[in-house]
A and B are shown apart, each in its own frame.
Chain A
Amino acid sequence: MFYRENGQFKTSYRADQQIFPIAQDRWAVLAMLAFGFIAVPFLFDEYMFRAILIPFVILALAALGVNILVGYCGQISLGSGAFMAVGAYAAYNTYVRIDGMPLIVALLAGGVFATLVGVFFGIPSLRVKGLYLAVATLAAQFFCDWAFLRIAWFTNNSTSGSVSVSNLKVFGWAIDSPIQKYLFCLTFLVVFGLMAKNLVRSAVGREWMAIRDMDVAAAVIGIRPMYAKLTAFAVSSFIVGVAGGLWGFVHLGSWEPAAFSVDRSFQLLFMVIIGGMGSIMGSFFGAAFIVVLPIFLNQFLPAVGDLIGVPISTAFVSHAELMIFGALIVWFLIVEPHGLARLWSIGKQKLRLWPFPH
């Protein structure tokens, strides 16, 4: 009843091709943006920002990048943690070695270096496909793990190998309090989200999807696989690299290579698949699910234990977290293999017809 296009006529091609052609969609997205920027800073306490919202925003950005590679272009990559690491360390070196470097430029420089590394490690995708490619990208992951531990130049010759940044400023505003950090990261997410949405609707996005669906047929009709695959790696690594820079600079403040280990790569892949491959909204859903679930379980299980009078040790809570996490993933994949984004689009479909059944 409310969600329909009745009466909305487009009078130009431009209007017809916009991202949100339905007015209700535009209003909804504006409302979400307003909520995110204006309402959230007042609604939540410091813990929620530091432990849930900031990681969610940064990982949603990273999941966006991974989704472009895995979901839109169909190249399974398990090296996303390494690209985050490259972004973080490159941003660190740019920030620390060049006096007066603006923060945003440093983060984007991190993204550029991550692009270079991403394209290099994406070259095997021209020869290798599917699960073989997934395991091959682990080469990137382990190589970067080693490089950031061994090559002292990357960590500014610190004896311990741990690096840290502080006193972040953007145009004179300090990025200190949780709310400032959250808004800073959210800005990046919104800008990159918009860019990604436009990119996947453009010619290169369609090339990616063609390669994903049937790469031989795509090559036959004239789409260059090398161009498509390497641009997918490039764009994806750029976004993931910037997310890595944000993760190190804004969320952790001080990090070591283990922060970007193979577990991080798996986590990002989970987000993409649970959220929905080939969907921008899916990256956000997946990130929310994966970030919030362990923390929720960590607080919920002892509460349940208290309720039924059984004392639950922290070790058991940790194990139960793992078990429930695993079981939920399996259940989710059985119920909806296309992810949360599919549920979202089914919901929107039903809403178009509501209150009528069909």
Chain B
Amino acid sequence: MGFFIETLFSGLMAGMLYSLVALGFVLIFKASGVFNFAQGAMVLFAALAMARFAEWIPAWTGITNLIFANVAAFLIAGLIMFAVAWLIERLVLRHLVNQEATTLLMATLGITYFLEGLGQTIFGSDIYQINIGMPKEPIFLFDGVFPGGILVNQEDVIAALIAAALVALLSLFFQKTSTGRALRAVADDHQAAQSIGIPLNRIWVIVWCVAGVVALVAGMIWGSKLGVQFTLATVALRALPVIILGGLTSVPGAIVGGLIIGVGEKLSEVYLGPFVGGGIEIWFAYVLALVFLLFRPQGLFGEKIIDRV
């Protein structure tokens, strides 16, 4: 019983980490209708930027305070992601307005390759560390109730709290600020928003910037857990079932979907896996999402697609 609760809890934590990545996808799709396959590459690029600058800043300035290095690296990486967002809008999206979904999808795939190559050229293909002082040792709760206690991974809990804080911040941003309202207007109906004078191009730059910051936070957390290397970009493939389960246009969907997928993955691997030899969690997540889709084809919280003939 204790182990079941542990697995459940780990699944929830893993799910939160997946939602962090999924958030970026959802934000961009909501506002501009583009399925940004490059989100994984953006996570990698942002994490690489932060890891390397956290190394270089002490070397350049001589200040070895860890907090200073990390904060400075975070800010610089954030600025770099803003620049990336602006360039993507300027060089790619502006020229592909009104194209079909598959064309835009392919364009983001092209951006993925470009960012992967650029990131490794500028920052290197070695494995780099992000040290934000996360505790690495586990703690054991309820030692008396369950033999051996329930294993709680402190790093994951802190990551989940950061993710929750990020979602709360984003909700505040969307509900209370005028830019947020403009973003929601654009997400609702591009043409109507344009007709009341909201500048679409600027909004798209802002959305990609926000997605870039989300990618940076996701990259920071995943990078702290795993180390920053090229394979970090593959977390995007783990986050895709989350998006389609939750719905491509819903932020709460990304969270709920993440939790469901995380729990489903871990429980399936630990309890079903041994019967079939193991290694099933990746395809199980997709099959789980697929099963949900058969009942709700737009995901749990997604918008119904209305076709007019």
Contacts and interface: CB of A to CB of B under 8 A. Distances in A.
Contacts of A134: 105
B43 interface: no
A256 interface: no
Contact of B297 (A129, A262, A319, A328): A129
A321 B117 contact: yes
Given A315-B125, A319-B121, A323-B121, A337 B99 contact: yes
A273 B103 contact: yes
Interface stretch (B178-186, B211-219, B278-286): B278-286
A342 B280 CA distance: 42
A322 B114 contact: yes
A76 interface: yes
A270 B106 contact: yes
A91 B106 CA distance: 32
A220 B279 CA distance: 44
A146 B293 contact: no
B165 interface: no
A266 B305 CA distance: 26
Contacts of B309: 214, 216-217, 220
A132 B286 CA distance: 11
Given A131-B248, A273-B102, A330-B110, A323 B290 contact: no
B240 A138 contact: yes
Interface in B90-107: 91-92, 95-96, 99-103, 105-107
B62 to A, nearest CB: 30
B282 A127 contact: no
B84 to A, nearest CB: 13
Interface in A198-215: 214-215
A333 B34 CA distance: 14
B253 to A, nearest CB: 12
A333 B297 CA distance: 29
A262 B240 CA distance: 13
Given A132-B244, A139-B290, A146-B280, A326 B297 contact: no
Q: Is the interface of B mostly helix, strand, loop or mixed?
A: helix
B88 to A, nearest CB: 9
Interface string B8-40: 000000000000000000000000000100000
B297 A131 contact: no
Contacts of B268: none
B188 to A, nearest CB: 19
B106 A273 contact: yes
Given A127-B293, A132-B299, A139 B286 contact: yes
A37 B142 CA distance: 75
A76 B104 CA distance: 13
Contact of B110 (A139, A149, A326): A326
Contacts of A319: 117-118, 120-121, 125
A142 interface: yes
B127 interface: no
Contact of B117 (A150, A270, A326, A337): A326
Interface in A125-146: 127-132, 134-136, 138-139, 142-143, 145-146
B100 A128 contact: no
Contacts of A146: 279-280, 282-283
Given A329-B113, A330-B114, A132 B248 contact: yes
A261 B202 CA distance: 38
B307 interface: yes
A131 B248 CA distance: 9
A143 B287 contact: yes
A334 to B, nearest CB: 4
Contacts of B155: none
B1 to A, nearest CB: 29
A320 interface: yes
B298 interface: yes
Given A135-B244, A273-B103, A325-B113, A127 B294 contact: yes
A327 interface: yes
Contacts of A220: 309
B240 A139 contact: no
Given A124-B293, A273-B102, A334-B96, 20 more contacts: A124-B294, A127-B293, A127-B297, A128-B290, A128-B294, A130-B101, A131-B101, A131-B244, A131-B248, A136-B244, A146-B280, A146-B282, A150-B278, A220-B309, A262-B237, A320-B121, A326-B110, A326-B113, A327-B114, A333-B96
19 contacts: A124-B293, A127-B293, A127-B294, A129-B297, A131-B244, A139-B287, A149-B279, A273-B106, A323-B114, A325-B113, A326-B109, A326-B110, A326-B116, A328-B110, A329-B113, A330-B107, A330-B110, A334-B95, A337-B96
Interface of A: 70, 76, 124, 127-132, 134-136, 138-139, 142-143, 145-146, 149-150, 214-217, 220, 262, 266, 269-270, 273-274, 277, 315-316, 319-330, 333-334, 337
List the 10 closest pairs (A to B, CB-CB), nearest first: A322-B117, A326-B113, A326-B114, A329-B110, A323-B117, A139-B286, A142-B283, A330-B110, A143-B283, A319-B117
